[in-house]
Amino acid sequence: MLCALAAPALAAEGRDPYQHFFASGTDDLRAELADAKRGGKKALFVMFEQDGCPGCIYMKAHVLNRRDIQKFYRDHFLNFSINIYGAAPLEDFGGRNVTEKA
């Protein structure tokens, strides 16, 4: 009975990872890393994902939506999501113009 009452409260705690975990970036990973260092961050956190991936869905629904996880990672890292099949252009750490999937 207590679990049933607590479940809605726990669900309400979750926040959308795309709004509260991942940063919106410039698609220039080298520039983002420089910004992270200037801002006192340790590094970039990059989640490589794909649509429909069970592990990705689980992480976003049960881990990356938690306020404590979001706060820790945003305090220490700039967090980005890259679609492993995506065609969006980005500049990699070596300064090369590539796509997400590359």
Is the model's pLDDT at 48 over the cut of 70? Answer: yes
Residue range 53-94, pLDDT digits in tens:
999 999 999 999 999 999 999 999 999 999 999 999 999 999
Cα–Cα–Cα angle for 55, 59, 65, nearest 5°? 160
The pLDDT, as a whole number, for residue 4 is 43
Is the model's pLDDT at 6 over the cut of 60? Answer: no
The pLDDT, as a whole number, for residue 13 is 67
Which distant-in-sequence residues (6+ apart) come within 8 Å of 16 by Cβ?
65
Architecture of domain 13-90: 3-Layer(aba) Sandwich (3.40)
